[in-house]
Amino acid sequence: MSRELGGRFAPAQDPVLPPEASAADVSVNTVYNYFPAKEDLFFDRSAGVVEQLSRWVRARDKGESAARAVLRELRAEAEAVSPRLGLMEGYDRFMRVIHEAPPLRSRLWSLQQEIHDHLEATLREEAGAPDGDPLPGLIAGQIAWTHQTVFVTVGREMLKGRNPDEVSREVLVLLDDIEELLSEKVLNYAVRGAQ
């Protein structure tokens, strides 16, 4: 999320760096004016993260459900040992900064809720569900839990200094376990080409 994934952020430091403002030849206050909160400087790509599950759902194949599309995409990211999942050297530094900064942890939890809410709206639209129908929110909760579980697992394992290739293989097994836990109702909701 952060451009440097913690490379220049030392633990217990404010992740907002005056040198970045200096490099852009602007004041720190000018930088702050473009971000609603200092934490957003650290999570500079949060909008893309919030929309990711919805993009995967909208791009699902014909005959594929929302949950199966997300599982497929997560598996592809894990198989590719994708940095987008945190499967990269240096991700431990990024996660350590988050774990040691309560405002960053709080912002991360807020992002998780934004992901859920965005996905719920997408599922409601894709399934043609009326406003009062609770099912899109419930399904979004299950899919967002799947996504969050993968990211929490990757973050925890990378914090231990693990090899990204090894962690990716474990994530593939985890995704199989998650799929077994999801009900048929979740796995077959919002199938493309079916209403």
Could you read off the pLDDT of 121-160 as tens digits, one per residue? 999 999 999 999 999 999 999 999 999 999 999 999 999 9
Return the CATH number of the domain spanning residue range 45-187. Answer: 1.10.357
C-alpha span between 45 and 29 (Å, rounded): 20
pLDDT, position 97: 86
Burial class from Cβ neighbours inside 10 Å (0-12, 13-18, 19+) for residue 67 reads buried
What pLDDT digit, counting tens, does each position of 88-112 carry?
999 998 888 888 888 888 888 888 9
What pLDDT digit, counting tens, does each position of 184-195 carry?
999 999 999 855
C-alpha span between 100 and 113 (Å, rounded): 21
HSE (side-chain half, CA atoms, 13 Å) at 70 = 32
Place of tokens 């836990």: 181
Alpha helices (runs of H) in the chain, residue ranges in sequence order: 18-23, 28-33, 38-42, 46-58, 66-79, 91-99, 102-127, 135-159, 164-181, 184-187
Q: Where are the domains of the chain?
A: 45-187
Q: Which two tokens stand for residue 84?
A: 């987008």
What pLDDT digit, counting tens, does each position of 21-45 carry?
566 666 656 655 555 555 555 555 5
